[in-house]
Every structure is written in C-alpha cells, then in structure tokens.
C-alpha cells in the first residue's frame, strides 16, 4: 500500500511514474525488488503478490530474494508533494456545494420557496460550515514530513472524541462545541454528564434547582431540601399526632385543633399509658425467661439413679421455676416436669423432651393451664409434669449424653404471659 496518491509539486511524467508502485499506483512505500530486472514495488504490495504466486508481478520472472531499495527510499523522502486535500478536482461537481449562502437564498426566493422551518435550519448550518471552511489545503513539503502535516491539516477527516461522527478538522471545533454526547457540567450542582442528559437532570434530578413549595406557602426551596421544608411548612396537611385522633389539617390550623380537642387528647393519652404499662409488665416477664441448654456428660448410673434438676429461672418478678428429671421407685419409670421454686399465684402449661426419647411430655395447655398454688389433699402442689416409662434398651440407646429441653408458658395473676425456653 503506497504512501499517497502521486501529487508532486514539480510533476514530470517521465520521472514521477518511476516512483509509483505498479500494483497500488501510489507513491512507493518501502520500495523492494524481487527480480533481476529491478522492478520495484511497495513492500506490502509485493508480499501479498508473492503469497499468491512466487513471480515478479511485472516481468513474471521467478521471484528471488526480496531486496530493499535504500537509494530509492532516499529519493522519495526528498520529493516535494502537495497535501492530498489540496483540491477537489477529482470529485464530481456539486453546484449546491459551490454556491455561497447568499446565492442559495436568492435561488430559493426565485422559486418562491419560504426560508422558514427546516430550510431555515439547513441554511444556518450551511452558513456556519462556510464560515469554518478554510478551502483547499495549500501545504507543500516532502514525503518525510507528510505525517507531521497530517496531525494539523484542516482538511483531514478526524473523529469526534465524544461520538462516532467523522468530519474535516476545520469543522470539528464547531461540532465538538455542540456535540450531544459531549461531557458537560451542571452549573448548579457540579455533576458531570452527557449534554443530551442535562435538560432531564435539571428537570428531575438536580438537587440545587429551586422550586416553589408544592403546598402553597410561597417559599422557594431547593429540591434537595424538600424533606426539611415539609417538616416545618405551615401549609402542609398533617394528621394529628395524638393517640387515637385521625384529624387532618394544615400545620398552622392544627394549633387550633389542639385547643378544641384537649380533653379528648388527654383521655386518649391516659388510655395509651395504661396499655403501655400492661405491655411493660409483659416484657418484664419475657426478659427474665433466660434460655438454658443442658448438654452435660454425667455418669450413666448417676443420671438414671439420682436424676437431675436445672438451675432456677426467674420468669417474672418473684416467680422462679426449674426443670426437674427424677427416677421413680419403679425401675423403668421417671418424672419430667416443672418445679416452682418460689412464686405467687400463676398458671402454667408447656412441654418437655429428652433427646432420644420419641415422645413429648406435656403438662397443661393454653385452654386448660395448671394452676399454682393448688390444694390437693390439704397440701400445696409445687410440681407439674408426667411420669413416663423408659425401658432398659432405651436407656442404653440414649446413654448419658442427652439434652433436656422445655418450653414453658407462665401467666401471672395480672393475666400477662411469659415463657421459659430451656
């Protein structure tokens, strides 16, 4: 592929043709030869030709060694040429392009065509293009300096840094100033974005844009401070904050409502206090329901012979219970239940389990809780649970490493429930 089209300043047909590649017809780029006749080609053109057929592209002689033509390179480097964009003689004539803007306006008037709408916009663009058009490039120089010229040539086509548009360099400055994909900065908040997104940003997102209060108080507030303004705006409609009152009015009208409904608000507040006190008592009971997990390794005979009892737990102020496991006189019978260590009148129900034993041991229910204290044969009953049977085979299978678990619900004498999970 040659350097450029042959466009020499001092063109001499008899000599210039010797510097043109016969394959691409451009000025030789890295001239090389492969035959005894000395026919010269661009290095890339010659390589591609030899890949297809190993013969000289001109004389068809069998190709030999590819030889670089250094003297010819030096001659070509010193040749003076014009800029490839020096003129447009090879392009077909386009009258509209050759017309001045004034001539185009006169042509429109002659045909009685209005200059408004789309025509006006096109005329404005054409006029701007004519202002930026510097005409044919007049640069001349050597081939060696051509690359440096291409970096500044006003007629060379370049790409916009923000979009895919390609224009002559002399037109690019105006395009980049109005490119819809150029990066711009919001003058209010400083955020950077594409130019096409700026209008939407100002209309919807920019927090520094001032807007009138939507509630009609007349204040001008920045969009980012809307929440703070709503919290104090006198025209914003709010719901009465007093418990049980659902009256809605503007903030400035609500002051009169407070005066008119003071007694109703006081009664509602008193009711709310009683509800909260009840809830506090309930939470106090639940707060003392401390989980306990037993996973203690004990002697096999010791646990089955003597039994075991957990530490006591305070499930409500003044009420302590514990989980109890104890053998009965009968060899295979055991008791598992709840022992009230200390307390006052309450109701209890729940269930317990032993790891490895297939059944839950239940005591009472929510519908029929066990009552404490309860008189039975003239004595206070302090312990609830069940006696169940564990066979010798089950004891061996369970072993000494087992977990006792219980979930107990306690209702105090005020009707509040709490529970112990151990």
pLDDT in tens, 312-340: 877 666 677 788 888 887 767 888 887 77
Give the confidence band of 113 by pLDDT, cuts at 50, 70, 90: low
Residue 31 has what pLDDT?
Answer: 92
Scored b (16 or more CB within 10 A) or e, 52-67 reads eeeebbbeeeebeeee
Whether 13 has a pLDDT exceeding 90, the answer reads no
**pLDDT-based confidence at residue 150 (cuts at 50, 70, 90):** confident
Share of residues in the chain with pLDDT > 70 (%): 72
- Buried b or exposed e, range 406-420, using 16+ CB within 10 angstroms: bebbbbbeeebebbb
pLDDT band at 169 (very low <50, low <70, confident <90, very high): confident
Q: Does domain 1-87+136-154 have CATH number 3.30.40.10?
A: yes
> Which band of pLDDT confidence, cut at 50, 70 and 90, is reported for residue 202?
confident
Please classify residue 172 by burial: count the beta carbons closer than 10 Å to its beta carbon, then call 0-12 exposed, 13-18 middle and 19+ buried: buried
The pLDDT confidence band at residue 8, using thresholds 50, 70 and 90, is: low
pTM of the model: 0.38
Q: 300-421: what CATH class?
A: mainly beta
* Average pLDDT of span 57-80: 88
Asked if the bond preceding 277 is cis, omega within 30° of 0, the reply is no
Its sign, for the CA torsion 250, 254, 256, 261, is positive
Write down the domain spans for the chain: 1-87+136-154, 300-421
The pLDDT tens digits of the residues spanning 339-362 come to 777 776 677 777 887 777 777 888
């Amino acid at each position: 592929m040659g350097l450029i089209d042959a466009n020499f300043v001092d063109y001499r047909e008899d000599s210039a043709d010797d510097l043109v590649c016969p394959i691409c017809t451009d000025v030789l780029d890295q001239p090389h030869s492969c035959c005894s006749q000395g026919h010269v080609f661009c290095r890339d053109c010659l390589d591609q030709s030899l890949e297809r057929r190993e013969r000289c592209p001109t004389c068809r002689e069998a190709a030999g060694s590819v030889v670089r033509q250094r003297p010819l390179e030096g001659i070509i480097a010193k040749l003076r040429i014009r800029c490839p964009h020096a003129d447009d003689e090879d392009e077909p004539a386009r009258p509209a392009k050759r017309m001045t803007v004034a001539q185009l306006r006169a042509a429109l008037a002659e045909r009685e065509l209005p200059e408004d709408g789309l025509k006006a916009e096109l005329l404005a663009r054409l006029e701007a293009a004519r202002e930026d058009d510097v005409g044919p490039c007049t640069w001349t120089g050597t081939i060696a300096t051509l690359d440096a010229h291409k970096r500044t040539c006003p007629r060379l086509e370049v790409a916009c840094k923000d979009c895919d548009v390609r224009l002559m360099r002399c037109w690019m400055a105006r395009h980049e100033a109005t490119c819809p994909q150029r990066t711009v900065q919001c003058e209010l908040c400083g955020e950077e974005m594409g130019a096409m997104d700026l209008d939407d940003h100002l209309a919807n997102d920019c927090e520094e844009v001032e807007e009138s209060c939507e509630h009609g108080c007349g204040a001008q507030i920045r969009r980012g401070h809307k929440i703070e303004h709503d919290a104090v705006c006198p025209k914003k409609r709010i719901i009465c904050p007093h418990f049980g009152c659902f009256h809605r009015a503007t903030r400035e009208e609500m002051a009169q409502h407070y005066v008119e409904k003071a007694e109703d608000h006081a009664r509602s507040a008193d009711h709310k206090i009683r509800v909260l006190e009840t809830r506090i008592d309930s939470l106090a009971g639940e707060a003392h329901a401390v989980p306990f997990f037993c996973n203690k390794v004990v002697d096999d005979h010791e646990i089955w012979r003597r039994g075991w009892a957990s530490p006591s737990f305070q499930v409500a102020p003044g009420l302590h219970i514990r989980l109890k496991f104890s053998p009965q006189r009968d060899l295979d019978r055991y008791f598992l239940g709840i022992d009230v260590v200390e307390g006052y009148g309450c109701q209890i129900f729940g269930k317990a389990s032993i790891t490895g034993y297939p059944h839950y041991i239940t005591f009472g229910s929510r519908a029929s809780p066990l009552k404490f204290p309860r008189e039975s044969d003239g004595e206070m009953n302090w312990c609830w649970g069940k006696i169940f049977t564990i066979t010798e085979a089950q004891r061996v299978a369970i072993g000494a490493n087992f977990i006792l678990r219980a979930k107990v619900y306690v209702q105090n004498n005020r009707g509040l429930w709490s529970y112990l999970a151990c």
